[in-house]
A and B are shown apart, each in its own frame.
Chain A
């Protein structure tokens, strides 16, 4: 592996994190929290110095960025983001345990929204802002951002994008990587701004609108209050449902809208199924929980919000779905696995992967009846290549292995199978809350430090789609040849 370029890029990422930390610093200044501002200023300094040292001050020949360097860069950078991003919480003493702080920040960056804090309302405004802002950074991805603004030469930057952007295959909108990255961020910013404005109009304070928009559009899920979203008005909750669903759609759709290519929009099979799954789940759950809430509109509001929150892997909650009937809980666990569309800010297995897997299964069953039948699979009216099919199958297998292995590793904490399994599901799919001990009203603070590390790994693996993080474990990845 070419470590020079990995160090260079990771260094830049840490410097960028320092730049991102300016936002909570400004927030702190606005709310006159001078003590915490000092902490943020110190961390910015640490980030810039460490970043500079890592990337090297003199310009040198960096060598090539092949796929393995690309994958390693992305995983290592995300780990570095977590390590440095946790410093403000740790230094200020708001989260005294360093692993807890890393868990909180990684949970933010990977847009999981799982928290170890039992009382989030005691955080300072600046820290809270940073916690929510990590959702926004992690939602679209750090590298997409860096690619959009840094003049990084070389055609192989696509290897960074491949590692970071979600979905079975990376598609560019326009020929140049840099322009694609700019477009992605432009769409992202537009959706965020529209979201902020809508929240403001619905009566939220500026602070609430900003922080919650980051969580909604980045499909994060850190709430501002201990009861997550339960204290908000029905209008605000419906708005949030809408924006979460919007954020879980493949961004290619928005690109088509932006260039007035409306015909193309209907060719996205994945988006159609995504919306169909949402609709079906809302109706089923609403019917199931109707006796609990009495009124049909209330049942639908809770059902829609929870379905949108889980399938986009945000993880906000308006109600304690852990107390819902078994059918609803079952649907919710299934939605956790399915996740949002590829090419969106959401996590999970992705609807397109589920579609490909289902189609593959269908073909296998058919091949028993017609063993010699030749049948190509199609997605979005395009033939699916064997590589995509193969890598999707492998993905599903590895996903299952990680799920089971993680659940076993955290089992010694003695929290019961449902809690453990849903805890892993909630972190691996970047959702946030699970069931029972890690339900919407609970938090992850009950786990031991070792279990937290396992779950941190799960969050990163889920966000980066397994492979980039897994290749770091291979010795051959680090060898020179």
Chain B
């Protein structure tokens, strides 16, 4: 696959490294000649010095034969414009833009549709979601994200003492009244399509899909999550801090943000009324203790300075039993960090790169098919696959009950116009839908292949 990456920052570099390793032909564009030279010395890629929104520069980078353009410069507007330029010069080129300004956050899907982008990625949002997930769910629940973060697939084992044991699927649905879809029950080596009367027994593995918010309610009501997160302290009210505080306080966690900039505090208070905003220096130990760091359930060090985050986390570790998350920007000295001093670290740049690479990977496989995402669920061979239906075929336009599905295939969910549909027998798949299916290990490259010929 031919890939153009515009912008050689942290994310750009991580992307180049990963994509080049996966044998893609990568061209990088950056205004700074030094950055381009550095990257072409280290990686087997072609460098072009210039502005990514300049048509001549794009031509020089070979936009005419490019399958994927990823714009990750500092400026959101430049990224969007760059993608539009690319799309205009080659309509088969898929484009990915990094857009981090929260102003655009609500418009993402509109922007994406209208500007013809394949993916708009907000690194801070992804990082915040990842932190929230680590804070809120115990390790026994494995989470995979589908349909660009809108749907999460939960994979949990029913161990002894789990409140769901002995209930039937019907009871769970009626009793807890949550918008959660039980996609499959895996018992031994067999996967069952759950019906109303299916009884859950110890040792079963459940695969659920839901939006993050519904999932949280579900886990709380069912008391699967025995120690749900009740309080969290965030130092640094930057973009990640903002998203994280928003997400946590929305799901009912008492959240405290410590931010030194008064103006920013006003903004945070306005946007997240449920959270407690404290205007103060996060590196002030007394302040942290006064605000109750000793009893907090989760602590996130999200200031802009790596060193400060590391020290804050070490301090939090000493004075509390909180679940600690440290944000780091640079990849230097990771060896030292890994020496178990820090429990959880998060690199937003690397995470963004991984996210885009995951997309690119599913895209390069989708040359002939239309598979978007693929995950192997741990402990079982089951695989979850996501498809985006591009054109009508034998699987579309027919009610699911009339489809002759191959053995072991479960259609988990259909996402249409950003809405989650729990597919019943009468529902059908349409062009433009995102479909999530579960198999017992087989991989189907195209949604067509799940139907018997």
Contact = CB atoms under 8 A, between A and B. Distances in A.
Interface of A: 67, 154-158, 172, 174-177, 179, 385
Contact of A175 (B33, B41, B42, B46): B46
B25 A176 contact: yes
Chain B at the A interface: SS class = mixed
Contacts of B25: 174-176, 179
Contact of B42 (A156, A172, A176, A177): A156
Contact of A176 (B33, B40, B41, B44): B44
26 contacts: A67-B41, A155-B20, A155-B42, A155-B43, A155-B44, A155-B45, A156-B42, A158-B40, A158-B41, A172-B40, A172-B46, A174-B25, A174-B46, A175-B2, A175-B20, A175-B25, A175-B26, A175-B27, A175-B44, A175-B45, A175-B46, A176-B25, A176-B44, A177-B44, A179-B25, A385-B33
Contacts of A175: 2, 20, 25-27, 44-46
A156 B42 CA distance: 6
Contact of A157 (B44, B45, B46): B44
A158 B44 contact: yes
A174 B2 CA distance: 10
A64 to B, nearest CB: 10
B63 to A, nearest CB: 13
A154 B25 CA distance: 14
A318 to B, nearest CB: 42
Interface string B18-62: 001000011100000100000011111110000000000000000
A175 B26 CA distance: 6
Nearest to A66: B41
Interface string B206-239: 0000000000000000000000000000000000
B432 to A, nearest CB: 33
Given A155-B20, A156-B42, A175-B20, 17 more contacts: A67-B41, A155-B42, A155-B43, A155-B45, A157-B44, A158-B40, A158-B41, A172-B40, A174-B25, A174-B46, A175-B2, A175-B26, A175-B27, A175-B44, A175-B45, A177-B44, A179-B25
Interface in B163-218: none
> Which 4 interchain pairs have the tightest Cβ spacing?
A155-B44, A175-B25, A175-B46, A155-B43
A368 B33 CA distance: 29
B18 to A, nearest CB: 12
Contacts of B44: 154-155, 157-158, 175-177
Contacts of B40: 158, 172
Contacts of B43: 155
A154 B23 CA distance: 11
Nearest to A387: B37
A296 to B, nearest CB: 45
Contacts of A156: 41-42
Nearest to A67: B41
Contacts of B46: 172, 174-175
Contacts of A174: 25, 46
A376 to B, nearest CB: 12
A176 B45 CA distance: 6
B20 to A, nearest CB: 7
A160 to B, nearest CB: 12
B209 to A, nearest CB: 38
A235 B291 CA distance: 94
A179 B44 CA distance: 11
A155 B22 CA distance: 12
A174 B61 CA distance: 9
A175 to B, nearest CB: 4
B40 to A, nearest CB: 7
Nearest to B43: A155
A403 B389 CA distance: 69
A174 B44 CA distance: 10
A385 B27 CA distance: 20
B193 to A, nearest CB: 45
A155 B44 CA distance: 4
A337 B42 CA distance: 34
Contacts of A155: 20, 42-45
Interface in B69-98: none
A293 B26 CA distance: 57
A387 to B, nearest CB: 8
A251 to B, nearest CB: 16
A52 to B, nearest CB: 28
A176 B20 CA distance: 9
Contacts of A177: 44
A396 B33 CA distance: 24
Nearest to B26: A175
B373 to A, nearest CB: 26
A175 B41 CA distance: 12
A67 B41 CA distance: 9
Contacts of A172: 40, 46
A155 B41 CA distance: 8
Contacts of B27: 175
B43 to A, nearest CB: 4
A385 B34 CA distance: 10
A210 to B, nearest CB: 35
A385 B46 CA distance: 18
A66 to B, nearest CB: 10
A154 B43 CA distance: 8
A122 B245 CA distance: 88
A433 to B, nearest CB: 39
A311 to B, nearest CB: 30
Contacts of A385: 33
Nearest to A264: B60
B392 to A, nearest CB: 36
A289 to B, nearest CB: 45
Contacts of A179: 25
A175 B43 CA distance: 10
Nearest to B49: A382
A154 B41 CA distance: 11
Q: Which of B2, B25, B46 has the most CB of A within 10 A?
A: B46
